[in-house]
Amino acid sequence: MKDLERIREIFLTEVDDETRLDNESKIIEWEKDMRENEALADWREHDITKSIAAQTKESYKDISVQLALNRNLTEEQRRSMWGKQDACLFILSFTEIDAQGKLDQIHDEIKIALNATN
């Protein structure tokens, strides 16, 4: 946040109106992205979220084993299991998001912008 405050000081003073609007827009975007990803990182680290992810991974593994070993499944049963696997992957796409990586990326963008002013 300290870097963001420095950016605000540098990018919003002594610039023309158009540049100021562009800079304000970028700063607002960074702030929004940081809030969202911080909240997402907190959610991801919550015990319930970790439990959901673990259960989902276990279900996916169990379904995969059934599909691989049970040669007596009907086509309808296979499609149902593939659908369940798709649902597992959908849930995991939310619980396995790299929010900290996105936060690091935002901080890097801010540092690059700061370094460009030096």
Q: Helices marked H in the chain — which ranges?
A: 2-11, 17-44, 47-69, 75-95, 99-117
The tens digit of pLDDT for each residue in 20-68 reads 899 899 999 999 999 999 999 999 999 999 999 999 999 999 999 999 9
Please tell me the distance from the alpha carbon of residue 3 to that of residue 94, in angstroms, as a whole number: 29
CB burial string 100-115: b at 16+ within 10 A, e below: eebbeebeeebeebee
Could you tell me the residue ranges of all domains in the chain? 2-117
* pTM more than 0.85: no
The tens digit of pLDDT for each residue in 62-92 reads 999 999 999 999 999 999 999 999 999 999 9
Residue with tokens 């370094």: 115
Is 7's pLDDT higher than 70?
Answer: yes
Do 31 and 100 meet the contact criterion of CB atoms below 8 Å apart?
no
